[in-house]
A and B are shown apart, each in its own frame.
Chain A
């Protein structure tokens, strides 16, 4: 069974530029999450999808962050424009129906200069 795929693995951009991250969860995982993990902290939820619908985006900074999961499978998270404080690892996770555990991808490490 393939794991959670994320790309790119690393990205370096200048502040005010835009960036996009891609995630493909494990097949059949209807619930998809995007997290932001700042150095020294635990993952913090940005947005949760159930199939192609948004369940929770209360912690997503909507003035600069957006996410979509149009076909209910893979997902894209975008930041536009990026700020220095957006430097972090962006993690994607999926969860099967009825399960507790979430399965994480390797993450994308973003550095904003």
Chain B
């Protein structure tokens, strides 16, 4: 039973445009959600988080939106840069534990 789903294995975007990565979840008990970025041969790097009581959190070029009624969150990257090319993981958290999705590979083309 996948509690966190990232249904798009890959996404390709032109440099300077917006990247939108999507994530759906089934567990209503998640208190917060996190996005991680992962480069090959490195561990996941924390990107941005959102509490379940918020609907938006912004940090520079990165914005996460949470729609609790739809059990859906999305990560917006504007503008996208070639260095953003990586695998992005969505994770739902509760009591210090995280459950991860399978990831979406983002390719930003110059």
Contact A43 B100 (CB under 8 A): yes
Given contacts A42-B4, A42-B89, A42-B91, contact A102 B46 (CB under 8 A): yes
Contact B102 A41 (CB under 8 A): yes
Which residues of B have CB within 8 Å of A104? 36, 43-45
Contact B98 A102 (CB under 8 A): yes
Contact B34 A42 (CB under 8 A): no
- Count B interface residues, CB 8 Å: 23
A-B pair count, CB < 8 Å, reads 51
A54 within 8 A of B: no
- Count A interface residues, CB 8 Å: 24
Q: Contact residues of B with A, CB < 8 Å?
A: 4, 32, 34, 36, 41-46, 49, 51, 89, 91, 93, 96-103
Q: Contact residues of A with B, CB < 8 Å?
A: 4, 6, 31, 40-45, 48, 55-56, 91, 93, 95, 100-107, 109
| 11 further contact pairs, Cβ within 8 A, besides A100-B51, A102-B98 | A6-B43, A42-B100, A42-B101, A44-B100, A45-B97, A93-B43, A95-B96, A100-B93, A103-B46, A104-B45, A106-B43
